[in-house]
């Protein structure tokens, strides 16, 4: 369907390519090269060539007597990942192409926030009623996360990852709505300001953010909550240090997020349980740490080319220590999993895209003064940082809903670099 939308727009809507494409050209090149690299992993090579690029893979294939073999240890699985990577690249391009006005950006953010609210309401109802299902599949059947909110995801950490990124977008939108208006000097204006405060869009958005924060805490995800609060602190600090358009209201709002959402809301819905889970985390008690240590030899055996995109679950059993469960499908660490599957080549390409997006987000904070642009750049910076932290203990980027949201966050700085407000309240793109 996404490919169909892209084709229709290319054929029937012949509007000029936005400047965001020129700004994002390095990221687009890196993503395209990475897509090509995944495809190369599927192509059969003579064993003499394979011996040069991936000696461990050549040794495995030579035992079966073949004369040609791909870099990937399971080319069909890798080709499926190629299709997923192609989807994400098209999604990234469509975001750059279609989100070309402030109004469209706001509608996009509200759409994400409403979808996140639906997840929170569904997950909370499952907990409160005691009839816990994950999209009509009982959690008992999945043997996972009873008593924690998962929404329609099968894993509480994946719902937490989705909510982290949605909250980042909502907080950035809230920042963009703050103004430096002075207090009114007559009673009519004061009444108007109080009504706007109580009934206006900022209040509705603030209530929505509180509900999403409640939902995040109810997941009881250690990585999710830690990633959210640390990324909020990091992004807030950079915003207050770098942004030219500093507002006292912005500082007050960011501080209120920490005080209200952590001290009051968190203690009410069970943040102490998350803190307790963090305190009980030890190297000996976490199976993930055993998986991390067992993954390192795979990276050592396939350092540059990897075992093929999507093949972690195929290769890990040969390296798995006996204390881990018989089926371990992900590394629970996106960095290690990408290194294992795509090697240093693929990992470097994807890391370059992330660094490029972060660079532009920080540059916008330093050089722009438009409140909306600053707020959206804050969203990107915070959301990307949250996922970088959470990815060290989970595999959110292997879930298509979350990886798509991550691509959206990566695209925002390239869009915002040229977004400005023209006369007549019209939005357009223009060079910085």
Query: Which one is predicted more confidently, 129 or 332?
Result: 332
**pLDDT reported for residue 284:** 44
Which whole number is the average pLDDT over 244-264? 67
Condensed to tens digits (0 to 9), the pLDDT of residues 361-395 reads 999 999 888 889 999 999 999 999 999 999 999 99
Q: How far apart are CA 75 and CA 185, in angstroms?
A: 71
Q: How far apart are CA 329 and CA 295, in angstroms?
A: 12
> Cβ contacts of residue 158 below 8 Å, gap of 6+?
150, 394, 396, 399, 401, 402
Indicate the Cα dihedral angle 393, 394, 395, 397, nearest 10°: -80
**pLDDT reported for residue 144:** 57
Q: Specify the residue for token string 């390296």.
A: 319
Residue 195, pLDDT > 60, answer no
Supply 296's token pair.
Answer: 């390192």
Residue 354, pLDDT > 50, answer yes
**pLDDT reported for residue 193:** 53
Q: Residue 174's CB: how many other CB atoms inside 10 A? A: 22
Nearest residue to 24 via CA among 412, 301, 386: 412
Lowest mean pLDDT among 21-25, 108-112, 136-140: 136-140
**pLDDT reported for residue 58:** 93
**pLDDT reported for residue 242:** 87
**pLDDT reported for residue 357:** 97
Residue 428: pLDDT band with limits 50, 70, 90: very low
Residue 272: pLDDT band with limits 50, 70, 90: low
Residue 422: pLDDT band with limits 50, 70, 90: very low
Condensed to tens digits (0 to 9), the pLDDT of residues 156-165 reads 899 999 999 9
Cβ-contact 165, 386 below 8 angstroms: yes
Residue 253: pLDDT band with limits 50, 70, 90: confident
Lowest mean pLDDT among 103-107, 178-182, 341-345: 178-182
Query: Which one is predicted more confidently, 76 or 196?
Result: 76
Residue 430: pLDDT band with limits 50, 70, 90: very low
**pLDDT reported for residue 260:** 65
Percent of the chain with pLDDT over 70: 77
Q: In this structure, are strands 45-46 and 68-69 parallel, antiparallel, or unpaired?
A: antiparallel
Residue 136, pLDDT > 90, answer no
SS (H, E, C) the chain: CHHHHHHHHHHHCCCCCCHHHHHCHHHHHHHHHHHHHHHHCCCCEEHHHHHHHCHHHHHHHHCCCCCEECCCCCHHHHHHHHHHHHHHHHHHHHHHHHCCCHHHHHHHHHHHHHHHHHHHHHHHHHHHHCCCECCCCEHHHHCCCCCCCCCCCCCHHHHHHHHHHHHHHHHHHHHHHCCCCCCCCCHHHHHHHHHHHHHCHHHHHHHHHHHHHHHHHHCCCHHHHHHHHHHHHHHHHHHHHHCCCCCHHHHHHHHHHHHHHHHHHHHHHCHHHHHHHHHCCCCCCCHHHHHHHHHHHHHHHCCCCCCCCCCHHHHHHHCCCCCCCCCCCCCCCHHHHHHHHHHHHHHHHHHHHHHHHHHHHHHHHHHCCCHHHHHHHHHHHHHHHHHHHHCCCCCHHHCHHHHHHHHHHHHHHHHHCCEEECHHHCEEECCC
Kindly report the length of the chain: 432
Which whole number is the average pLDDT over 417-429? 50
Residue 288, pLDDT > 90, answer no
Residue 305: pLDDT band with limits 50, 70, 90: very high
Residue 212: pLDDT band with limits 50, 70, 90: very high
Average pLDDT, the chain: 83
Q: Residue 73's CB: how many other CB atoms inside 10 A? A: 22
Lowest mean pLDDT among 7-21, 60-74, 189-203, 230-244: 189-203
Cβ-contact 332, 393 below 8 angstroms: yes
**pLDDT reported for residue 266:** 55
Q: How far apart are CA 282 and CA 286, in angstroms?
A: 6
Residue 166: pLDDT band with limits 50, 70, 90: very high
**pLDDT reported for residue 52:** 94
Residue 256: pLDDT band with limits 50, 70, 90: confident
């Amino acid at each position: 369907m996404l490919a169909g939308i892209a084709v229709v727009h290319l054929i029937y809507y012949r509007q000029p390519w936005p400047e965001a494409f020129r700004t994002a050209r390095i990221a687009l090149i890196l993503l395209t090269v990475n897509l090509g690299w995944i495809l190369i992993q599927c192509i059969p090579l003579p064993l003499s060539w394979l011996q040069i690029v991936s000696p461990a893979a050549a040794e495995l294939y030579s035992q079966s007597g073949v004369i040609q073999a791909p870099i990937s240890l399971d080319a069909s699985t890798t080709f499926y990942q190629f299709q997923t990577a192609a989807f994400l690249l098209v999604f990234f391009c469509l975001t750059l192409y279609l989100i070309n006005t402030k109004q469209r950006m706001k509608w996009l953010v509200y759409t994400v926030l409403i979808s996140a609210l639906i997840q929170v309401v569904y997950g909370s109802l499952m907990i409160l009623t005691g009839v816990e299902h994950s999209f009509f599949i009982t959690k008992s059947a999945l043997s996972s996360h009873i008593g924690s909110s998962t929404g329609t995801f099968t894993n509480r950490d994946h719902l937490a990852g989705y909510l982290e990124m949605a909250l980042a977008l909502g907080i950035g939108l809230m920042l963009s709505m703050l103004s430096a208006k002075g207090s009114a000097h007559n009673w009519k204006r004061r009444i108007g300001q109080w009504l706007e405060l109580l009934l206006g869009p900022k209040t509705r958005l603030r209530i929505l953010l509180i509900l999403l924060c409640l939902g995040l805490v109810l997941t009881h995800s250690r990585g999710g909550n830690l990633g959210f609060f640390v990324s909020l602190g990091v992004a807030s600090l950079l915003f207050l240090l770098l942004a030219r358009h500093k507002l006292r209201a912005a500082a007050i709002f960011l501080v209120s997020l920490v005080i209200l959402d952590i001290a009051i809301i968190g203690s009410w819905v069970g943040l102490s349980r998350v803190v307790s889970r963090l305190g009980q985390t030890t190297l000996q008690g976490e199976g993930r740490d055993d998986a991390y240590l067992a993954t390192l030899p795979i990276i050592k055996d396939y350092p540059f080319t990897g075992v093929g995109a999507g093949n972690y679950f195929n290769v890990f059993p040969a390296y798995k220590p006996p204390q881990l469960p018989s089926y371990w499908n992900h590394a629970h660490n996106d960095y290690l999993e990408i290194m294992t599957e795509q090697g240093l080549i693929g990992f470097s390409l994807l890391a370059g895209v992330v660094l490029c997006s972060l660079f532009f987000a920080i540059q916008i904070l330093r050089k722009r003064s438009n409140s909306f642009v600053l707020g959206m750049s804050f969203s990107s910076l915070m959301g990307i940082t949250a996922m970088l932290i959470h990815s060290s203990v989970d595999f959110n980027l292997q879930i298509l809903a979350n990886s798509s949201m991550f691509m959206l966050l990566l695209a925002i700085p390239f869009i915002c670099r040229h977004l400005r407000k023209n006369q007549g309240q019209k939005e357009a793109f223009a060079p910085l």
